[in-house]
Structure 1
């Protein structure tokens, strides 16, 4: 019942009919398992040590980033419009032009999810999510992190002696040096793996369907469980 809800986002009324229970029991069962498995999922989503992360790096994929620790990106999902005006403002996403929840996903060089943040209102910027998530506390001196150019956190990472690597901005220069263009392409190519990982997470319908009011507070736990289950599937990169 629990896995069916995660994978297909089957309505509780439907689950109740299939498993011969009441809708109330179906919902209660889901929440009980969610609380237990969200704790167990922490053992399936682990941040690699600096030494382990570097042992996975290959010249073919990460030759330009010999000290890479992780690759990060944010995603968001539409949420039912909150009735409270203040909550509604916090959830409003200018990008989606709807109320959403946003979250940070971090993968190791093999593409396994190694960190997932709590869910935040759509108004929260990528920068704020990274700072609030606690990711910086997991990084150590000498690390490199790959991200999209929208992550404007170079100073914050520099303060930790961590290098945030992003594609160069195309706004300031009409024509960039060929070397800079090639480097930006390599960065974009190498960070595709985090987009693929997020794509695997989104195969679970409960992650992509509009989040109803009664599941909003549970969404962070749902993310944690789905991330753990995703890591149990076929890896994106074979060692």
Structure 2
């Protein structure tokens, strides 16, 4: 992992950013907790996210098919022995964009609010192997799968599951 992250970001900034991600506290509460201004907390968060994301990006990779099979959970071994990935779309609520075009792109009929969606893939034992870029909440899961480059990342002769194990896809 990138050990130089500490040269780019103060440990308190990491703490503030991780607390914001974990609790989704409003900036005003974080400002009170850390005795800083709301604007300063917002700036820390905005500045820290790309740095932390860059450092953690190294932890997202595809292990070999052999490694995945070694760590395959016992309940998977008979019925899902070729599964290398379980995918789901994560939908996160966002503030309503001021631009009407972006409002329409991010509106989610499912959540009844404006959202961003990400495709996340993990091995059957839970290791994250892929995170797509953000898509507006209006995008269907099928569109996200086809436009996210996920299918290009899959190894040959594998299978993947969608969300609730009801849809097994062979490739």
Tell me the CA shift for residue 37 of structure 1. Answer: 0.6
Tell me the CA shift for residue 56 of structure 1. Answer: 1.6
Q: Does 1:80 find its partner at 2:95?
A: yes
Q: SS of 2:125's equivalent?
A: coil
Q: Distance in 2 between matches of 1:2 and 1:20?
A: 15
The structure where strand makes up a greater share of residues is: 2
- CA RMSD of superposed structures (Å): 2.4
Q: Distance in 2 between matches of 1:19 and 1:97?
A: 33
Q: Distance in 2 between matches of 1:130 and 1:72?
A: 9
In structure 1, the residue matched to 2:26 is: 11
Tell me the CA shift for residue 10 of structure 1. Answer: 2.3
Q: TM-score, normalised by structure 2?
A: 0.78
Q: Distance in 1 between matches of 2:31 and 2:163?
A: 43
Q: Does 1:134 find its partner at 2:137?
A: no
Tell me the CA shift for residue 14 of structure 1. Answer: 2.4
Deviations 1:43-94 (A, max 9, x none): 2222222221122225533311222111111131232222222111111223
Q: SS of 2:76's equivalent?
A: helix
Tell me the CA shift for residue 138 of structure 1. Answer: 1.1
In structure 2, the residue matched to 1:116 is: 131
Tell me the CA shift for residue 38 of structure 1. Answer: 0.6
Q: Distance in 2 between matches of 1:109 and 1:126?
A: 20
Count of paired positions: 155
Q: Is the 8 A contact 2:162 2:168 kept in 1?
A: no
Q: Is the 8 A contact 2:97 2:103 kept in 1?
A: yes
Q: Does 1:43 find its partner at 2:69?
A: no
Correspondence 1:1-239 to 2 at 5 A = 1-148=16-163, 163=170
Tell me the CA shift for residue 113 of structure 1. Answer: 2.1
Structure 1 segments unaligned to the other structure (5+ residues): 155-162, 165-239
The structure where helix makes up a greater share of residues is: 1
Q: TM-score, normalised by structure 1?
A: 0.58
Tell me the CA shift for residue 98 of structure 1. Answer: 2.8
C-alpha spacing 1:51/1:33, structure 2 compared with 1 (3 Å): same
